Structure 1
Amino acid sequence: MPHCDKSLYEETLKSYWNPQSLPCLVLLGNDLSLYSQRQKDTERKSLVTKFLTFSQQSPLPTPPEDLLNSFNELCVQYLPRTRSRRRSASHQLTPDKSTRHFFTTCKASKVNLTPLSNSPSSVVHVPTSRRIAWKKLPAISPIHRLRLYKQLSKARLTFLVTLTSMAGYALCPESEGGGGVQHEVSTLLSTASGVALCSASANAFNQMLEVPLDAQMARTRIRPLCTRLLSPLHAVVFGVVAGVAGVGVLSYGVNNTSATLGAANILLYSAVYTPLKRVHIVNTWVGSLVGAIPPLIGWAASCGGELGDLNNFKRTAALSALPYVLYTWQFPHFNSLAHLLRPQYAACGYKMLSVTNPLKNSIVSTRHALFMLPLTAILFPWSGLTTWGFSYTSTLLNAPFAWLSLMFYREIKANRPGDKAARRLFHASLIHLPLTLVLAMYHKRSSNHIDNYIGGASGTSRSI
């Protein structure tokens, strides 16, 4: 359990806290005494404190210098045989008043502690052989810097967000018209570039706010801010410039409605969703709202910013059909990924449903995967977005997706790890969304965009 949160150690000790199971427990992780001293643990009822009173630590060999950041505090902690028998015989696992915790009876000057941070003040009393190995960063070339900005903007996620906005633009049955093919291409390119810049800005702010947490996760510790290849000032400047440029492109090249939605999405993702991840599990639902807004940006760009009469139920259903799909798809996609990353999320202190309640996490994923079936098979054709042929083809795509989500739920329900089922569901979700968008555009009932293209081409031929 390297670099796990103290609460996870508490839960582990609680599950083994009996005379029969505790002697069999062997912890491979950070020295628990460091947790107690760093967090000023003075509670006599803390299981970590109690375990420290009669446990024994065996530190692991000093790792190489390039691995000191990750393995500088690992040790094996266990209950010695002689002590475990004495404790088991007395059935008393709670230390009495005469046996206090080590750090309550010894002076801090008599012990050498290995810190968890890299700050210079925390390594003053660390032995020279255990100090963090610092090295000078190499010079960054312009091409390398562009690659770092690509990582800062999460290029693959930005591409997927831009794709969903383009799907909203294409599925809108109405278009602004009046400008022919030239106006259509200009609006389409402005929408794509504006959404991409807004997404890059939100992702940059997200990474800048989560540097201390990303550095603790194997999946994210290679990001440019964690490796210090880019400074936080770089991230802030990049985020501000990309955000202002994205909103400006949407306002000048598209319309004010699309620009407002783009600015709102930046704020919702960076100022609400990002800090909420360490506060409450509702962050997943807020993140799903963030994913549902880009199709609305594309729809508003297509219809000239006029969303029309929202009192018309059928028109409202057509407007919200694709955002509903994006919102619903987020749960099977993210919950399966969160299940695979639950140890890392727990170590960083993220409030994720996969950490607090894995069974409910799988139930939410399955519920939304099943809801995808009537959403695409009925709402899309009924609202007039697609023909009824989309009802059959989308069912052929959504039924296996729902089955994989149901298998994920059954694995967790049976108290099995469920990692294989979660991995299959996550990989399927990466294919499911693009195919759903392509099928929806293939089965589209009508398109004013095609009429504009034809009108623009005929007008050009007449002028020639």
Structure 2
Amino acid sequence: MSNTDTTLVESKNTFMSDFKQLTKFGLSLSVVFSAVAGYLLAATTIDYTTIALLSIGGYLMVGASNAFNQIIEKDVDKLMKRTRNRPLPTGRYNLKTAMFIAVSFTILGLGILYTINEKTALFGAISIFLYTCAYTPLKGITPLAVFVGAFPGAIPFMLGWVAATNQFGIEAGILFMIQFFWQFPHFWAIGWLGHDEYLKAGYNLLPMGKRDRKAVVQILIYTIMLIFASIIPVFQKTGSFYIYPVTAVIIFLSGCVILYYGILLYKDLTKETAKKLMLASVFYITAIQIIYIIDKFLH
């Protein structure tokens, strides 16, 4: 292979790596997982075309949100070690390229979701709007940005239910509530880990503005609310979405893992425990979605 060919391959690999970073490929896939899980919970018969459309549309929706986010925060990203190597702060992507990707993803994503049904596209549009026009600007103003950001962050799980049923009822509402409460222990753990870096960029995302026990109390409160919301379906008051008692016990015990690390964080206030709390929250939201699906197919 000639030097020219090697350079072209390296350039192509860099472009694709930056593309994944701009659209946060890993995060987008986790959102797609949540949306498909919500669909499987609701669907009476599985339509693989709908799953494919939901997956592609969901990925484009989240990719667009992340691209817009990085366009808005390109100057701030230069200030943080975690973000300074992103494609926009380094100049590997220019604004026109990033904007083209963001706008194209928005149009294509919402168009694909619209082919499933209008409500799915509507919630997709709301998610992009809130993340880009509310959460992102508020990050530099108030810790309440996390609360605002929890709304678009909670949409994917219920989006799958809406895609399957073309309606937003109590079932979709419960899925929304679960992912909404989950945002707080998860993102406050991340905020705890990156607190010093965020302060350099003018962001203060912790509920009490600093790493202290009052902030951890907030984490514990939302964790308890998360656990309770997750087992509500066992009482069979949530429409067609219900779970067996044994499933509720498994979910409750899984939630206690987050609670355990939250209590540990209250005691030691260390980054190491905050990281374990963050990882426990990721495990929890993934595990309960799988558990719900298994439970549904055992009915």
Q: Confirm or deny: 8 A CA contact 2:126 2:152 kept in the other structure.
A: no
Structure 1 Cα separation of the partners of residues 264 and 247 of structure 2: 26
Is residue 2:108 matched to residue 1:245?
yes
Q: Deviations over 1:398-430 (max 9, x none)?
A: 112211111112334xxxxx2222121112222
Is residue 2:295 matched to residue 1:443?
yes
Gaps of 5+ in 1: 1-137, 311-315, 413-417, 448-464
1:219 aligns with one of 69, 82, 90: 82
Structure 1 Cα separation of the partners of residues 49 and 157 of structure 2: 18
Q: Deviations over 1:284-328 (max 9, x none)?
A: 01111111111222111101x233xx5xxxxx1x22222111111
Is residue 2:125 matched to residue 1:273?
no
Is residue 2:182 matched to residue 1:329?
yes
Q: Cα offset for 1:380?
A: 4.7
CA 260–379 in structure 1, closer or farther in 2 if over 3 Å, else same: same
Which structure has more RCO (C-alpha within 8 Å, separation ≥ 6)?
2
Q: Confirm or deny: 8 A CA contact 2:31 2:58 kept in the other structure.
A: yes
Q: Cα offset for 1:381?
A: 5.0
Among the aligned pairs, what percent are the same residue? Answer: 26
Q: Confirm or deny: 8 A CA contact 1:328 1:372 kept in the other structure.
A: yes
Structure 2 Cα separation of the partners of residues 378 and 248 of structure 1: 34
2:229 aligns with one of 357, 364, 375: 375
CA 352–204 in structure 1, closer or farther in 2 if over 3 Å, else same: same
Gaps of 5+ in 2: 1-6
Counterpart position of 1:197: 60
Q: Confirm or deny: 8 A CA contact 2:28 2:62 kept in the other structure.
A: yes
Is residue 2:258 matched to residue 1:401?
yes
Superposition map of 1:20-419 within 5 A: 141-172=11-42, 174-175=43-44, 184-252=47-115, 254-303=116-165, 305-307=166-168, 310=169, 316=170, 318-353=171-206, 356-359=209-212, 360-382=214-236, 383=238, 384-412=241-269, 418-419=270-271
Structure 2 Cα separation of the partners of residues 272 and 209 of structure 1: 12
The worse-fitting range, judged by mean Cα deviation, of 419-428 and 380-389 is 380-389
Is residue 2:250 matched to residue 1:425?
no
The worse-fitting range, judged by mean Cα deviation, of 152-161 and 291-300 is 291-300
Structure 2 Cα separation of the partners of residues 436 and 446 of structure 1: 15
The worse-fitting range, judged by mean Cα deviation, of 422-431 and 241-250 is 422-431
SS of the aligned residue for 1:225 comes to helix
Structure 2 Cα separation of the partners of residues 188 and 301 of structure 1: 9
Q: Confirm or deny: 8 A CA contact 1:292 1:326 kept in the other structure.
A: yes
Structure 2 Cα separation of the partners of residues 257 and 141 of structure 1: 40
Q: Which amino acid aligns with 2:295?
A: H
Q: Deviations over 1:78-103 (max 9, x none)?
A: xxxxxxxxxxxxxxxxxxxxxxxxxx
Q: Confirm or deny: 8 A CA contact 2:114 2:121 kept in the other structure.
A: yes
**Which runs of at least 4 in structure 1 moved beyond 6 Å after TM superposition?**
none
Q: Which amino acid aligns with 1:394?
A: I
Q: Deviations over 1:143-199 (max 9, x none)?
A: 432221111000111111111111111111x54x6xxx6xx0111110111010010
Counterpart position of 2:3: none
Q: Deviations over 1:112-160 (max 9, x none)?
A: xxxxxxxxxxxxxxxxxxxxxxxxxx87733432221111000111111
What TM-score results when the alignment is normalised by the length of structure 2? 0.90
Q: C-alpha root-mean-square deviation of aligned residues, in Å?
A: 1.9
What TM-score results when the alignment is normalised by the length of structure 1? 0.59
Q: Confirm or deny: 8 A CA contact 1:321 1:380 kept in the other structure.
A: no
Q: Deviations over 1:241-286 (max 9, x none)?
A: 011000001112x011101111111111011100000111110011
